[in-house]
């Protein structure tokens, strides 16, 4: 199997879907002139012409136009530049796009994708470093996707573009240059289905996006102490594959949830609630959460490192649920 970057995997997905379906088009800031801020759109203008367009800096217009385009029979892919800027278009996203199909009795589909680069990277500071999936978990009508590797990025993006409901596609900025095996040819990764990234017997770690890699590193370190960690990679945050999480927890009897976003009100709280509601009598310890501290992401490199969840945080949480010294 060939090895390509996460960025190239998403680019390959876009090319395949745009060749397959002439109603798919892409637009955003600097994606023609610059190829996207992370190079994820390079080469598309040469092949697809005006089906890939630069637009003015107006997130309200970008997201509002996506709804209009979807309602008129096309499949827009709108790039947010940074996921943080979803806040500028919050009304269009949560009061229009998420609700439109319901409010009109299912008479129209809303087949659009919002690509949202997220996460902490290289001192991008408070307005360009956030993990914002927690903002949208509470909004019915949206599908939230978070790939963790080049292979899942390609398969999930293709599935998202073919969806008839709106998808927010979170792609961690640190992942773009990372390489991994990607199958040749056509394949889709199903939405709404988690994967067991690492089988284990002692504790279940539920995670997604970049934190899958950090959890794998922690699992290797813990293995040296005789601890077997099972890692559940969510891939789709909403709808969440609760069944896979519960099956794992019923096997290991312990659960730690890890994400890069702040712990307070984060996705970990929802997962912990589901596990304790559905698998309470299988638990030998409370569900623990690992995430960022409840402050804006600092510009200062040492402070950024201090605020973000790290390997030691994950290892300590696993040791705590196993009633071992952390």
Query: Catalytic positions, please?
Result: 128
138, 200 contact by CB (below 8 A): no
| C-alpha to C-alpha distance for 290 and 326, rounded to whole angstroms | 14
Cβ(208)–Cβ(234) below 8 Å: yes
From CA 247, how far away is CA 274, in angstroms rounded?
Answer: 12
Q: Name the strands in the sheet holding 24-28, side by side, starting at the edge strand that comes first in the sequence.
A: 52-54, 24-28, 75-79, 113-118, 167-172, 143-145, 236-238
Cα 37 from chain centre:
18
């Amino acid at each position: 199997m060939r090895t390509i970057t996460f960025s190239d995997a998403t680019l390959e997905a876009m090319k395949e879907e745009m060749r397959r379906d002439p109603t798919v088009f892409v637009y955003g800031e600097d994606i023609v002139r610059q190829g996207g801020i992370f190079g994820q759109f390079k080469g598309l203008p040469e092949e697809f012409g005006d089906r890939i367009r630069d637009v003015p800096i107006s997130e309200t217009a970008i997201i509002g136009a996506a709804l209009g385009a979807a309602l008129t029979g096309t499949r827009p892919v709108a790039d947010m530049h940074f996921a943080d800027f979803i806040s500028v278009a919050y009304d269009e996203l949560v009061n229009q796009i998420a609700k439109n199909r319901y409010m009109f009795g299912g008479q129209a589909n809303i087949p659009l994708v919002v690509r949202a680069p997220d996460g902490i990277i290289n001192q991008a500071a408070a307005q360009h470093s956030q993990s914002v999936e927690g903002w949208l978990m509470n909004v019915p009508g949206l599908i939230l996707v978070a790939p963790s590797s080049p292979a899942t990025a390609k398969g999930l993006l293709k599935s998202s573009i073919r969806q008839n409901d709106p998808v927010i596609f979170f792609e961690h900025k640190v992942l773009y240059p990372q390489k991994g095996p990607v199958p040749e040819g056509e394949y889709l990764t199903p939405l709404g289905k988690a994967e067991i990234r690492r089988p284990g017997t002692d504790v279940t770690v539920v995670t997604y996006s970049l934190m899958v890699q950090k959890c794998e590193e922690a699992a290797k370190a813990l293995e040296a102490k005789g601890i077997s960690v099972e890692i559940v990679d969510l891939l789709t945050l909403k709808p969440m594959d609760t069944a896979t999480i519960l099956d794992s927890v019923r096997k290991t009897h312990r659960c730690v949830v890890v994400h890069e976003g702040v712990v307070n009100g984060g996705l970990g709280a929802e997962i912990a609630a589901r596990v304790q509601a559905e698998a309470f009598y299988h638990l030998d310890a409370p569900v623990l959460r690992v995430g960022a501290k409840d402050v804006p992401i600092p510009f200062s490199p040492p402070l950024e490192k201090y605020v973000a969840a790290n390997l030691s945080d994950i290892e300590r949480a696993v040791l705590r649920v196993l009633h071992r010294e952390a």
